Amino acid sequence: MVANRIPCNQEVDAAILGKSLPFNCGRVCRNRIVKASLSERHASFDPTNFENHGLPKESLLNIYEKWGNGGFGMVFTGNIMIDMKHLEAPGNVIVSKENDSPVLRSLLKRLASALKMDGGLAIAQLNHCGRQTPEFLNPHPKSASDVKLEIDFHGMGFGKPVPLTAAEIKDEVITRFVESAKICVEAGFDGIQVHAAHGYLLAQFMSPQTNQRTDEYGGSAENRVRIVVEVYEALRKDLPKDFIIGVKVNSVEFQEGGLETSDARVMCAKLEEIGYDFVELSGGTYENLQMHHVKESTRKREAFFLEFTDKIRPVFRNTKMFVTGGFRTVEGMVKAVESGACDGIGMGRPIASEPDLPKKILAGLAKSAPDTKVNHDIFASGAAAAAQMWQASERDFTQGNGDPCDGIADLSDENIAKEFKEALEEFQNLIERNRAAGLPVPNNGILAWYPKGSKYRKSE
Ligand SMILES: Cc1cc2nc3c(=O)[nH]c(=O)nc-3n(C[C@H](O)[C@H](O)[C@H](O)COP(=O)(O)O)c2cc1C
């Protein structure tokens, strides 16, 4: 039971969200709600032994059994790495020629099955982090150009990147996307999503701030999106005709010299032209991840990026368009789809709180997401989502009571949220102390915590 839901119009009919959506490749998404990617960090990390590096853990399979029973049209994995030298964080799943093995393949099969337990489509998000690879993992990552990320991101720094040569673009990027995707096909995924948003490698090519190349991959918007086009062409050539190929791109980057919506529109027109099955629009990079409301005008329409995506929308005719970021009420979702602002919506943080929110929405049992009492900035709300994923990871679906939310802390309850904030502060202090002493960050930076009174809380 959710203590508090976001206030909303109770009369709105969710029926339009239950309508199916056909893709270019012939596959059909059964409804309009997708589980957006959330980096889980529940894979093995062992860079000294490739065969045990980036393998999905049992805990990861447990999480996806909850989302796989959540009623989504598509379930996206968190970002899966195509190159172990360019991780987002320790604990990412890696699917590459270096760690390919029967064990990896059999775990991926189980992962794909978990994602689609109740009939949704299983989509693996594939990513190469480029210059956003933390420096402690790779001091000289590859990027479009040598523009260093000069920030401290939650305690992480970033090394000066080395520009990819044209040959490396083919061999180290495009070919890797294809190799990883082929393994996903064999594992039983229904499709992949190419990650070209949030400042990762492909977004580094798309942004004029990070792409200062003078070859055919730099300069005009058409040139900067070329790599995303070539990734698609290589994938389509080598993958089954009915395998879904989607992409996540930014509608805007909120930073000086970053990607503007006018460029994103030109790029999306190209993605439509070559035939991507779907485009999920988001925004921001590590330099400015605007995952909360900063303007009253966006708050009114609920989703953060609609004012930008509206300008892009007209270019899509056959490619289906999803928008992710900020959707919290059925009213907001229905209005977005009904008005034609997008074909479907993605949700991230709300479905870490409540993995079966779509099922409840489509059955008329919920009109909005839990009204979480944790700060909405990306640090606190991201930590809350990670803690809730940890809670979902602790046992498989059959061990619970048939409720995908079993054991997940309800942060819409003031008292539980207060406890969470205290636990998070304590955890942060522990991380700082460990860092200062040169010790590893505990449990891969994930707060492993149950509120007092939870039946799963170990005795003190
Ligand atoms: C903990 C966390 C991890 C995330 N990991 C990914 C990721 O791996 N890939 C991705 O495309 N987006 C990732 N995102 C962004 C989400 O997919 C989504 O775009 C964002 O949370 C906004 O949607 P929301 O307001 O519904 O949460 C992540 C967000 C959070 C909070």
Q: Choose among 232, 251, 259: nearest CA to 315.
A: 251
Give the pLDDT of residue 408: 97
Q: Whose CA is nearest to atom 31 of ligand 1?
A: 382
In whole angstroms, give the CA distance from residue 62 to residue 408: 13
- Cα of 30 vs centre of ligand 1, distance in Å, is 22
What are the angstrom distances between the C-alpha of 200 and each of 196, 340, 438? 7, 29, 28
- Cα of 39 vs centre of ligand 1, distance in Å, is 7
Looking at the CA of residue 79, tell me the nearest atom of ligand 1. 8
Give the pLDDT of residue 294: 67
- Cα of 460 vs centre of ligand 1, distance in Å, is 33
Q: Whose CA is nearest to atom 16 of ligand 1?
A: 348
Looking at the CA of residue 349, tell me the nearest atom of ligand 1. 27
Q: Whose CA is nearest to atom 3 of ligand 1?
A: 38
- Cα of 348 vs centre of ligand 1, distance in Å, is 5
Give the pLDDT of residue 401: 84
Give the pLDDT of residue 297: 65
In whole angstroms, give the CA distance from residue 282 to residue 376: 17
- Cα of 290 vs centre of ligand 1, distance in Å, is 11
Going residue by residue through the chain, which has 460 residues, state the pLDDT in tens, using 9 for 90 and above: 899 999 998 899 999 999 999 999 999 999 999 999 999 999 999 999 999 999 999 999 999 999 999 999 999 999 999 999 999 999 999 999 999 999 999 999 999 999 999 999 999 999 999 999 999 999 999 999 999 999 888 778 999 999 999 999 999 999 999 999 999 999 999 999 999 999 999 999 999 999 999 999 999 999 999 999 999 999 999 999 999 999 999 998 888 888 999 999 999 999 999 999 999 999 988 987 777 766 666 677 788 899 999 999 999 999 999 999 999 999 999 999 999 999 999 999 999 999 999 999 999 999 999 999 998 888 899 999 999 999 999 999 988 888 999 999 999 999 999 999 999 999 999 988 988 888 877 777 889 999 999 999 987 6
> φ and ψ at 142, to 5 degrees?
-90, 150
In whole angstroms, give the CA distance from residue 178 to residue 184: 10
Q: Whose CA is nearest to atom 18 of ligand 1?
A: 348
- Cα of 431 vs centre of ligand 1, distance in Å, is 23
- Cα of 36 vs centre of ligand 1, distance in Å, is 6
Looking at the CA of residue 378, tell me the nearest atom of ligand 1. 31
Can you give the residue ranges of every domain in the chain? 15-369, 370-460
Q: Whose CA is nearest to atom 23 of ligand 1?
A: 325
- Cα of 263 vs centre of ligand 1, distance in Å, is 23
Q: Whose CA is nearest to atom 6 of ligand 1?
A: 38
Q: Choose among 128, 243, 120, 233: nearest CA to 186.
A: 243
Q: Whose CA is nearest to atom 14 of ligand 1?
A: 38
Beta carbons of 44 and 59 less than 8 angstroms apart? no
Measuring from each residue's beta carbon to the nearest atom of ligand 1, which residues come in under 6 Å?
Answer: 36-39, 78-79, 125, 195, 197-198, 248, 282, 291, 324-327, 347-350, 382, 385-386
- Cα of 122 vs centre of ligand 1, distance in Å, is 17
Looking at the CA of residue 40, tell me the nearest atom of ligand 1. 3
Paired residues of 35 in beta bridges: 75, 347
| DSSP state string for 12-50 | ---GGGG--EE-TTS-EESSSEEE-------B---TT-G
- Cα of 38 vs centre of ligand 1, distance in Å, is 5
C-alpha neighbours within 13 Å on the C-beta side of residue 212: 10
Looking at the CA of residue 88, tell me the nearest atom of ligand 1. 8
- Cα of 259 vs centre of ligand 1, distance in Å, is 19
Q: Whose CA is nearest to atom 29 of ligand 1?
A: 38
Q: Choose among 359, 369, 360: nearest CA to 2.
A: 369
Q: What is the CATH number of domain 15-369?
A: 3.20.20.70
Q: Whose CA is nearest to atom 1 of ligand 1?
A: 382
